Amino acid sequence: MTTSFTAAPDTASRNPILISVGTRPEIIKMAPVYAELRRRGMPVAWVHTGQHREMAESLYSFFDIAPEHEVMLERRNGSLAHLNALLLEGLSDVFEKVRPSAVLVHGDTTSTLGSAQAAFYLDIPIGHVEAGLRTFNAREPFPEEKNRELTARLARWHFAPTPGAAANLNGEGLAAGGVHMVGNTAVDAALAGTSRLAELLGSGRLALPGPLQRLQPHLARCRLITVTAHRRENWGPGIRNIARAVARLLAAHDDLAVVWPVHGNPAVSDVVHAELGALADRLEGRLCLCPPLDYPALLWCLQHSLLALTDSGGIQEEGAALSCPVLVLRSTTERPELIEAGAGLIVGTDADHVLATVTQLLKGGAELKRMRRAVNPFGDGHTARRIADVLAREIEA
């Protein structure tokens, strides 16, 4: 059984557990925790830190979440320092008003670090969900690697998704009693999300976005590959090489179709459309360059894909949960369990290597079948329950 997204009414309290997140992946991965806390009648509230405001509304609707608080970010520039300063000030105001019994943060974004800093300054205990991921390379990914390291120094509870992540935390000298190996909430979200997606599509209460509807007829004769790329370290040559690899794959295999939800940052979108825009027009539907997809649509893509090419951390977890092999478009990953389990490969961004790897996997398909059968290393869909167990035990009523 997986976590349901439909939650019981909130319990009023002056001192709720406060979930503080703002980016798309954070919302997805914290939704199961929010639902589980509400199901148990534990007081919980949500603050949206505002980073991905344009993507948040559909996610909150899908997950049945109504944030009680929001930080309004009036950004003057795109610098990380400016964003962190705005978050620290805005979140401090919220935390002082709410006086939560604990603040839960997720992963490694600027929202994560800003939330942890603000809570630490106010002496509010911090729970870090998806703690302990490491590449041991300060610049890959940047700034995420240092964000999660710094958050670990501030947190009281470290909810590690895998034994390897827990070992990383213990190796950094953190008290063993604060490290809890619980699994990854991405699995809870993906399993419950696909179930809800099937229900909504089957009842006619949800329709796939137009680009995917236009893609569907081609899937009768074409195998689908999902591509995403957005990491800062891939801006420039990396994104360009990925786009060129996609073009060469489509030229070499007329039974392939590609869907690429293109990140809105001009450092990504301008390069992708410059390389592939004209090709998309010529391929009559086999190449779908579309705006970022909402979560249900992305789950649909992964369910129907032969494999995924991505530099995203979340898709590495979602792919493993949905038996979709993942080729990681980076030189390293903080999720080595994916590779060790045989569910993914690190391929980097060299166009020749990406092309050769996909081509080899397409030959006969035996390796792809083995990757699909790999045991998911990120959990069993019950992570949120384990997190709630710890919080219920250790937070005073």
pLDDT digits (tens, 9 = 90+) for 301-341: 999 999 999 999 899 999 999 999 999 999 999 999 999 99
Q: Would the pLDDT of 10 be above 80?
A: no
Active site residue 263: yes
d(CA 375, CA 337): 10
Residue entry with tokens 């344009």: 54
Is the CB of residue 91 less than 8 Å from the CB of residue 47? Answer: yes
Active site residue 188: no
Is the CB of residue 32 less than 8 Å from the CB of residue 185? Answer: yes
Q: Would the pLDDT of 229 be above 60?
A: yes
Q: Would the pLDDT of 363 be above 60?
A: yes
Q: 23-56, pLDDT tens digit by residue?
A: 889 999 999 999 999 999 999 999 999 876 777 8
d(CA 295, CA 32): 14
Is the CB of residue 271 less than 8 Å from the CB of residue 302? Answer: no
Instruction: Kindly state the tokens that stand for 347.
Output: 């391929």
Report the relative pairing of strands 287-290 and 344-346 from DSSP bridges.
unpaired
Residue ranges of the chain that CATH labels 3.40.50.2000: 17-184+380-394, 209-372
Task: Single out the catalytic residue among 24, 106, 232, 382.
Answer: 232
Instruction: Kindly state the tokens that stand for 306.
Output: 């032969």
Secondary structure element (H or E) that encloses residue 105, with its range: strand 102-106
Taking the domain 17-184+380-394, which CATH number applies?
3.40.50.2000
Is the CB of residue 347 less than 8 Å from the CB of residue 328? Answer: yes
Rg of the chain taking only CA atoms, in angstroms: 21
The strand order across the sheet containing 17-21 reads 69-70, 44-48, 17-21, 102-106, 126-129, 157-160, 179-181
Question: Hey, what long-range contacts does 290-293 have (CB within 8 A, 24 or more apart)?
Answer: 290/209, 290/211, 290/212, 290/259, 290/260, 290/261, 290/262, 291/261, 291/262, 291/264, 292/24, 292/55, 292/261, 292/262, 292/263, 292/264, 293/209, 293/212, 293/261
Mean pLDDT of all residues in 70-98: 88
**Which residue in 186, 129, 128 sits closest to 154, CA to CA?**
128
Task: Single out the catalytic residue among 130, 311, 317, 318.
Answer: 130
Active site residue 337: no
Q: Considering the entire predicted model, what is its pTM?
A: 0.88
Which option is the CATH number for 209-372: 3.40.309.10, 2.60.120.10, 3.40.50.2000, 1.10.1130.10? 3.40.50.2000
Q: Would the pLDDT of 19 be above 50?
A: yes
Provide the residue type at 233 as one letter. Answer: E
Is the CB of residue 307 less than 8 Å from the CB of residue 365? Answer: no
Active site residue 232: yes
More confident residue, 313 or 182: 182
Distances (CA, A) of 383 to 78, 161, 213, 223: 34, 8, 33, 33
Task: Single out the catalytic residue among 52, 69, 158, 263.
Answer: 263
Task: Single out the catalytic residue among 10, 26, 36, 108.
Answer: 108
